[in-house]
């Protein structure tokens, strides 16, 4: 299970983030899937968790407009990303722009992890505490 909150090193020029060791320890493979997340974050899945979430998305009735929208949002931005031997990933520019990341925070969210901009995550936490 992905747990905790971390402020990893980040190179904005190369778009490279060092995934925290505690997050890497839960990865089943050296490949992850990144996708647009809700509330302007990036969702990160190991391949097994992505398959489970994909099954949920695909089980929704195709004739339902909301289900189609959810599928489009989820799958259209999904990318397979390699994790290098030092635990770093390169985040595609469109995902960085979507999440407005200047200084990343990686949080565990149970079956997946999320990458947020630090100031956006602070606001989101504040809203959750209300």
Spans of all domains in the chain: 5-128
Q: What is the mean pLDDT of residues 43-65?
A: 94
Instruction: Give the mean pLDDT of the chain.
Output: 94
Q: Span 5-128: which CATH code?
A: 3.40.1550.20
Helix H segments across the chain? 21-24, 47-59, 65-76, 93-99, 118-128
pLDDT of residue 96: 97
Provide the CA 57 distance to its chain's centre, in angstroms: 16
Q: pTM of the prediction?
A: 0.94
Q: At what angle do helices 47-59 and 65-76 cross, to 10 degrees?
A: 160
User: Is 58's pLDDT higher than 80?
Assistant: yes
Of 94, 114, 121, 93, the C-alpha closest to 19 is 114
**If pLDDT is split at 50, 70 and 90, which confidence band does 129 have?**
confident
pLDDT of residue 29: 82
pLDDT of residue 53: 94
């Amino acid at each position: 299970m992905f747990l905790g909150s971390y402020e990893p090193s980040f190179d904005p020029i190369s778009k490279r983030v060092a995934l925290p060791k505690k997050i890497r320890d839960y990865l089943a493979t050296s490949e992850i899937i990144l996708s647009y997340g809700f509330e302007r974050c990036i969702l990160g899945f190991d391949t097994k968790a992505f398959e489970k979430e994909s099954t949920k998305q695909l089980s929704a009735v195709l004739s339902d407009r909301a289900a189609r929208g959810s599928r489009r949002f989820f799958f259209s931005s999904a990318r397979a990303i390699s994790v290098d031997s030092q635990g770093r990933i390169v985040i595609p520019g469109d995902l960085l722009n979507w999440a407005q990341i200047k200084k990343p925070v990686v949080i565990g969210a149970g079956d997946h992890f999320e990458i947020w901009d630090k100031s956006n995550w602070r606001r989101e936490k504040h809203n959750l505490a209300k």
